[in-house]
Amino acid sequence: MSEVNQSQIKKVVLAYSGGLDTSVIVRWLQETYGCEVVTFTADIGQGEEVEPARAKAEAMGIKEIYIDDLREEFVRDFVFPMFRANTIYEGEYLLGTSIARPLIAKRLVEIANETGADAISHGATGKGNDQVRFELGAYALKPGVKVIAPWREWDLTSRETLMAYCKEHNIPVDFASQKKKSPYSMDANLLHISYEGDILEQPWAEAEEDMWRWSVSPEQAPDQALYIELSYQQGDIIAIDGEPMTPAEVLTKLNEIGGANGIGRTDIVENRYVGMKARGCYETPGGTIMLKAHRAIESITLDREVAHLKDELMPRYASLIYNGYWWSPERQMLQTMIDESQQYVNGVVRLKLYKGNVIVVGRKSDDSLFDERIATFDDDAGAYNQQDAEGFIKLNALRLRIAAGKNRQP
């Protein structure tokens, strides 16, 4: 049982999807804690209608129902800042689930403050990362908040036991639909869709082709390459092929383009913060394009040492997001540095998309540090004195020469 005192809980804000798990949680909270439940449903681009959650919540006697369109805030204030750092976890994961959790935690706390709720609740299990992300975020934003995590308290352990609970407690659930539901545990937002469970729990087994929802396989992608141009301003994409777009519009369009060209599928085994390894498959078409393009525009606009320092710090930054520390002072400190580095990351990147590949074919910027006069293999008209390299090399070799003189051979 949770350390939360049941008698102190009069009202709880629940992160509510309207699905099986959170429908059970509504009734469980009402009966276990005898409290009023406020539901909060976030539209962060999961690709499903969120408005039906209102009718489901009303049918369960919920009086205060929040359904918020957070798509623009999600991309503008969370996804874009993350991509300014070229963030990737363990070399492959673009953190699609991880980056959505701090926004949901923030809104849970805001609604708790607005409604005078005593606690917040979520449907994350006791085995995963999301419980950590939700709760670290909530505690950072509201230190005294009480958190109720039903999966750590109840004895319901499977979809079958959840459905039995629904029948016993007259919870309105489409049982026929539940039986036809995908065998995978999925999470979707504007950045990605993830798949876990079922056959994916066997690391040797290949994911079934009909599992994927956002992208065609590279084999089925068009035989003709697609060229696109992305315009950048201070590290963020502001237009595609010259057409200005909002952050959410940019990611929506790139998902559509990338998915149609077989881009963005990954199959990885990652190290969860709680200690176990877990296998997941991810579709991140737009994010895969964004990562490649952002590195391309930085390649001509960033100073060498700034670029290298960003690359050194990125794994730490990625781990902070993956482990739920978005609201930590160290992440905010790193973000300030990262954002400062993007002042001159402006220009256009040209990409060729072909059968799962994102190929950079051009980049240009008024703030480019690429000097054609110096870089040329032709006559540079004295822009670079090649004789200067001799002293540069000898000075850098000095310690090596001294060590060799002492017979300290490598």
Active site residues: 21, 101, 130, 185
Q: Which two tokens stand for residue 239?
A: 């237009």
Q: Which residue has the tokens 């035989």?
A: 223
Element (H, E) at 13: strand 11-15
In the chain, the amino acid numbered 126 is G
The per-residue DSSP string of 247-285 comes to HHHHHHHHHHHHHHTT--EEEEEEE-TTS-EEEEEEE-H
In the chain, the amino acid numbered 58 is E
Angle at 15 between CA 141 and CA 3, to 5 degrees: 65
Count of positions (residues) in the chain: 410
Rounded (10°) CA dihedral 379, 385, 390, 391: -170
Could you tell me the sign of the dihedral formed by the alpha carbons of 110, 115, 121, 122, in that order?
Answer: negative
Crossing angle between the packed helical segments 247-260 and 285-301, to the nearest 10 degrees: 110
User: What is the rounded distance in angstroms from the CA atom of residue 15 to the CA atom of residue 41?
Assistant: 6
Could you list the beta-strand ranges (E) of 16-76.
36-43, 65-69
Q: Which residue has the tokens 């681009």?
A: 45
User: Which residues does residue 129 pair with via DSSP β-bridges, in sequence order?
Assistant: none
User: Which residues does residue 237 pair with via DSSP β-bridges, in sequence order?
Assistant: 232
- Burial of residue 402 (number of CB atoms within 10 Å: 0-12, 13-18, 19+): exposed
User: What is the rounded distance in angstroms from the CA atom of residue 33 to the CA atom of residue 4?
Assistant: 10
